[in-house]
């Protein structure tokens, strides 16, 4: 391969447009590219990606690689892997950023293996070492109890970045960039699995990861019924409901509610935690919350060390009273 240069972002498409997590990655990549004095590019894979190309440029990309093939119309890990490997071998990026989404989680380690390099997984922040001009990646270790700073010895330097840890740049429709067509040769036999059926999960209200207000419940609620009280409060505050892993593992709420190291990462303006102890695994998913409010009857719970505001009390008394007070304020 040629000498490695530039920062490459693997983009994801939603409804034909650039996904929000790709906009976040472009913000991270833009800073890296500027610090290195190199180009920021994005790879968009699909049967047709024309509509997302200019959108990517408006969010910070200098160049868009339109990696196209009819077999890329629907995500399939083996085909996407082959296409992305071909692109990396052709353009030799210095740094490659991949979102740690469901697709990215299985694609990133496979690609790193194919290219014979390491992978910085589950990154909370990426930066450049000014002296060595190498990628530095911050990632949680020991179950979220500490953050390690790691570097990659070989190129491309690949990092899988956790969603919601970067704010997208403001879109600038006047930005100019280059869209490069990169057709790839693929065969259906390369796909070792096939999609039998796609079932879209029905959802109502605000998505958990996009909500400005989140109310989460934990093991201390004692069962699934109390979540109806959290739903009521969330409706009044225009927010969404989340849960700890313990509540999800108990079957009280769907896995889509889970916040934490093995769940969703959220960055709300207000995060109200009800009957959640504040274990490091949960806090790893909400460290970006601007204000944390804790409600727990155990005054020694770890969450009170993390929260800006805390209420020591039984949720059965606190939540109904709080809901009534918020409703009164909203209606006044």
Let me know whether 251 and 315 are in one domain: yes
Cβ atoms of 165 and 288 closer than 8 Å: yes
b (16+ CB within 10 A) / e for 148-167: eeeebeebbbbbbbbbbbbe
Beta strand 125-128 with 119-123 is: unpaired
Q: Calculate mean pLDDT across residues 295-300.
A: 94
Residue 192 has a pLDDT of 86
| pTM, 2 dp | 0.83
Let me know whether 17 and 133 are in one domain: yes
Please report which helix (H) or strand (E) contains residue 323, including its range.
Answer: helix 315-331
Tokens at 270, concatenated: 């207000």
Let me know whether 146 and 239 are in one domain: no
SS3 19: coil
196 is a domain residue: no
Q: Minimal CA–CA distance to 92: which of 39, 139, 140?
A: 39
Residue 332 has a pLDDT of 81
Let me know whether 183 and 251 are in one domain: no
Report the C-alpha gap between 138 and 140 in whole angstroms.
Answer: 7
Residue 142 has a pLDDT of 80
Domain end call among 159, 190, 221: 190
Tokens at 106, concatenated: 């299985």
Q: What is the pLDDT of residues 84-106, one digit of tens each?
A: 999 999 999 999 999 999 899 99
Let me know whether 242 and 172 are in one domain: no
Report the C-alpha gap between 59 and 54 in whole angstroms.
Answer: 9
Residue 281: give the domain boundaries: 208-331
Residue 16 has a pLDDT of 78
SS3 175: coil
Let me know whether 161 and 228 are in one domain: no
119 is a domain residue: yes
Let me know whether 101 and 224 are in one domain: no
Give 2's pLDDT tier (boundaries 50, 70, 90): low
Let me know whether 11 and 64 are in one domain: yes
Q: Calculate mean pLDDT across residues 12-20.
A: 87
Tokens at 144, concatenated: 């979220």
What is the Cβ-side half-sphere exposure of residue 267, based on CA atoms within 13 angstroms? Answer: 9
Write down the number of H helices and E strands in the chain: 9, 17
Residue 294 has a pLDDT of 96
Place of tokens 């210095």: 94
Instruction: Say which residue, 321 or 207, is predicted with more confidence.
Output: 321
Instruction: Say which residue, 49 or 224, is predicted with more confidence.
Output: 224
Let me know whether 322 and 243 are in one domain: yes
238 is a domain residue: yes
- Measured in degrees and rounded to the nearest 5, phi and psi for residue 258 equal -70, 130
- Is the preceding peptide bond at 156 cis, omega within 30 degrees of 0? yes
Contacts of 35 (CB under 8 A, 6+ apart): 127, 128, 130
Let me know whether 180 and 221 are in one domain: no
Position 275 pLDDT exceeds 90: yes
Q: Calculate mean pLDDT across residues 48-74.
A: 90
Domain end call among 190, 225, 250: 190
Domain end call among 129, 155, 190: 190
> How many of the other CB atoms lie within 10 Å of CB of 34?
13
Let me know whether 53 and 106 are in one domain: yes
Say how many domains are in the chain. Answer: 2
267 is a domain residue: yes
201 is a domain residue: no
Q: What is the pLDDT of residues 113-146, one digit of tens each?
A: 999 999 999 999 999 998 888 999 999 888 777 8
Relative orientation angle of helices 227-237 and 315-331, to the nearest 10 degrees: 20
> Domain of 112: which CATH number?
3.40.50.620
> How many of the other CB atoms lie within 10 Å of CB of 237?
21
299 is a domain residue: yes
Q: Calculate mean pLDDT across residues 31-39.
A: 95
Report the C-alpha gap between 21 and 163 in whole angstroms.
Answer: 6
Position 202 pLDDT exceeds 70: no
Q: Calculate mean pLDDT across residues 202-209.
A: 77
198 is a domain residue: no
Give 1's pLDDT tier (boundaries 50, 70, 90): low
Helix, strand, coil percentages (3-state) for the chain, rounded to 5, are: 35, 25, 40
2 is a domain residue: no
Report the C-alpha gap between 305 and 86 in whole angstroms.
Answer: 49
> Domain of 294: which CATH number?
3.40.50.1220
Let me know whether 24 and 160 are in one domain: yes
């Amino acid at each position: 391969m040629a000498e490695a240069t530039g920062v490459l972002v693997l983009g994801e498409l939603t409804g034909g447009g650039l996904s929000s997590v790709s906009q976040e990655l472009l913000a991270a990549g833009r800073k890296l590219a500027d610090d290195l004095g190199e180009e920021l590019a994005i790879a968009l894979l699909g049967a047709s990606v024309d509509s997302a190309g200019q959108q990517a440029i408006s969010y910070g990309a200098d160049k868009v690689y339109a990696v196209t093939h009819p077999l890329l119309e629907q995500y399939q890990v083996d085909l996407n892997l082959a296409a992305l490997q071909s692109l990396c071998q052709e353009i030799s990026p210095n740094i490659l950023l991949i979102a740690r989404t469901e697709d990215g989680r299985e694609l990133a380690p496979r690609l790193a293996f194919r290219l014979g390099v390491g992978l910085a997984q589950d990154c909370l922040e990426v930066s450049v070492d000014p002296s060595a001009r190498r990628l530095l990646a911050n990632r949680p270790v020991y179950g979220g109890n500490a953050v390690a700073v790691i570097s990659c010895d070989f190129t491309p330097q690949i990092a899988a970045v956790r969603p919601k840890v970067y704010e997208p740049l403001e879109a600038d429709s006047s930005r100019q960039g280059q869209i490069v067509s990169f057709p790839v040769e693929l065969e259906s036999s390369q796909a070792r699995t096939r999609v039998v059926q796609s079932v879209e999960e029905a959802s109502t209200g605000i998505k958990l990861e996009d909500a400005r207000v989140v109310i989460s419940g934990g093991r201390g609620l004692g069962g699934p019924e109390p979540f109806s009280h959290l739903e009521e409060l969330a409706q009044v505050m225009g927010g969404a409901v989340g849960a700890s892993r313990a509540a999800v593992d108990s079957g009280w709420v769907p896995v889509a509610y889970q916040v934490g190291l093995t769940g969703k990462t959220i960055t709300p303006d207000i995060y109200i935690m009800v009957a959640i102890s504040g274990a490091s695994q949960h806090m790893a998913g909400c460290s970006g919350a601007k204000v944390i409010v804790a409600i727990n009857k155990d005054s020694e719970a770890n969450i009170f060390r993390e929260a800006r505001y805390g209420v020591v009390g039984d949720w059965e008394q606190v939540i109904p009273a709080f809901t009534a007070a918020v409703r009164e304020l909203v209606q006044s």
